[in-house]
Amino acid sequence: MCSQAAVRLEPVLLSRINEARKRTDSLFRLLPPNSFYDRPIPERHRLIFYLGHLEAFDWNLLAAPLGLVSRNPEFDKLFAFGIDPVGGGLPTDVPGDWPNIAWVEKYNKNVREALDEKLETGFLSNSSAVDDTLVNVAIEHRLMHAETLAYLLHNLAVERKMPLAGPSAAARPTPQQRPVRVPEGVATLGQSKQGGSFGWDNEFDRHLVSVPSFSIDVFPVTNGEYLKFIQAGGYHNPKFWRPEDWAWKSQRRLEHPHFWLPRSSSPASDPDTLWEYRAMFGTVPLPLSWPVFVSYAEACAFASWAGKELPTEAQWHRAAYGTPEETERTYPWGEEPPHHTRGNFHHKGSDLSPVDAHPAGASAFGVHDLAGNGWEWTSTPFEPFPGFEPFSFYPGYSANFFDGRHFVMKGGSHHTDACMLRRSFRNWFQPHYPYVYATFRCVEKSA
């Protein structure tokens, strides 16, 4: 029975929860049991944490509005929060600090059964102040973790994963980069609180930004372009790096992007063949036409070497959604829902695409590959929009990162779910985190 304060759930949300669960379940199936206690990225938890985290998050979010009482408060707390240390402090826990896999799987099963029994009634009882927002948060939180899990597993040695087919990349030359002129105009950032659509707290409120004319790269920077920076000694010249980035690069002894490996033997003296790309399930000769994945620090250094800079969030918006008629599109290509002909997103596969592979996804100004195939760094620090209000039930989701040390990323990667390709969605990372599926493109320096 439902109380009078009960809120009707959109039926589609229930099927979306199950779809999202299938997505993350399939990623965990890539792990043999003895890999769950590995920590593929030093700044993140061991993988066992993520196995429990997705259910613990859903439970901590939905149990009270559904009138449920915890059966395992210890796990609810243990698996509640991920970590994002800035400035060097790394976690020091050992595998023995974590429960065994069977216990975590039992916890997950119990959480799903308890939540589903209530959710399948179609109501959030005891909930007069919240509506579908809570369930959307649970769904998108899980789908975001599908992407972060993908790059965590990407970073795990191939022999620590279930065997799957290795990468394939046809040899193609670097597409010819060129600038595209975007005239002066207005970019609409964020979405309206009155619009009724779901968005995370940092996506509100809608506001207009005037953007002077600028020129932007037609494609994201490719491995082939980035190789020229390396061959020019870019990783050995501090003048291209911000001082804090140079210190980080030097301390880590970085000589190339995290996703590249020096080839153990090169068949020729051609310097373009000295590198391999480290894909999810093996290596492949460096695909010159794929976008380069790098940290913000490395993106800035390349831009400096090229005599350019990264776009602001507003410039990126304008290039992606603006039109010569001064209207704005829902997606770079127009109003049609995302489809795989428009870009490499929505878990299309574990490989990348050449940056010129989806002309049907180009924006009105002719800018390519904006949605999918790698998030794109902007030069805009992650800050609240005017009118920002944190979610009462998750106050730290964005606010914990408004520290001037994280930067906005736009666009999406090959593992970004289509629902998060909406115009107002913002991702963010710190400058010295090289593991994420992030690329960039440059703009001409403003006068």
Nearer to Fe ion, 82 or 396 (CB): 82
Q: Which residue is nearest to Fe ion (CB)?
A: 82
**Residue 144 Cβ vs Fe ion, minimum distance, rounded to whole Å:** 7
**Residue ranges in 312-341 that form contacts with Fe ion under rule CB under 5 A:** none
**Residue ranges in 79-108 that form contacts with Fe ion under rule CB under 5 A:** 82
Nearer to Fe ion, 281 or 397 (CB): 397
Phi, psi of 51 (to 5 degrees): -60, -40
Say how many residues touch Fe ion, by CB under 5 A.
1
**Residue 98 Cβ vs Fe ion, minimum distance, rounded to whole Å:** 17
Nearer to Fe ion, 58 or 351 (CB): 58
**Residue ranges in 63-82 that form contacts with Fe ion under rule CB under 5 A:** 82
**Residue 50 Cβ vs Fe ion, minimum distance, rounded to whole Å:** 8
Residue with tokens 């408004």: 402
Q: How far apart are the first and last CA of the chain?
A: 65
**Residue 58 Cβ vs Fe ion, minimum distance, rounded to whole Å:** 10
Residue 28 · residue 51 · CB < 8 Å? yes
Nearer to Fe ion, 42 or 82 (CB): 82
Q: Which residues pair with 276 in a beta bridge?
A: 261, 285
**Residue 223 Cβ vs Fe ion, minimum distance, rounded to whole Å:** 31
Question: What is the longest distance spanned by two Cα atoms in the chain?
Answer: 76
Task: Report which of 135, 155, 144, 118 is spatially closest to residue 43, judged by C-alpha positions.
Answer: 155
Nearer to Fe ion, 54 or 364 (CB): 54
Nearer to Fe ion, 82 or 195 (CB): 82
Relative orientation angle of helices 11-28 and 101-119, to the nearest 10 degrees:
170
Residue with tokens 């589609």: 12
Residues 6+ apart with CB under 8 A from 44: 82, 83, 91, 152
Neighbours of 203 (CB within 10 A): 21
The three-point CA angle 7-10-15 to 5° equals 130
Binding mask 379-408 for Fe ion (x = CB under 5 A): ------------------------------
**Residue 149 Cβ vs Fe ion, minimum distance, rounded to whole Å:** 10
b/e map of 117-129 (b: 16 or more CB within 10 Å)? ebbeeebbbbbee
Nearer to Fe ion, 342 or 406 (CB): 406
Residue 80, Cα to own-chain centre: how many angstroms? 20
**Residue 228 Cβ vs Fe ion, minimum distance, rounded to whole Å:** 38
Residue with tokens 């929009």: 385
**Residue 401 Cβ vs Fe ion, minimum distance, rounded to whole Å:** 13
Nearer to Fe ion, 50 or 123 (CB): 50
Neighbours of 78 (CB within 10 A): 18
Binding stretches for Fe ion (CB under 5 A) = 82
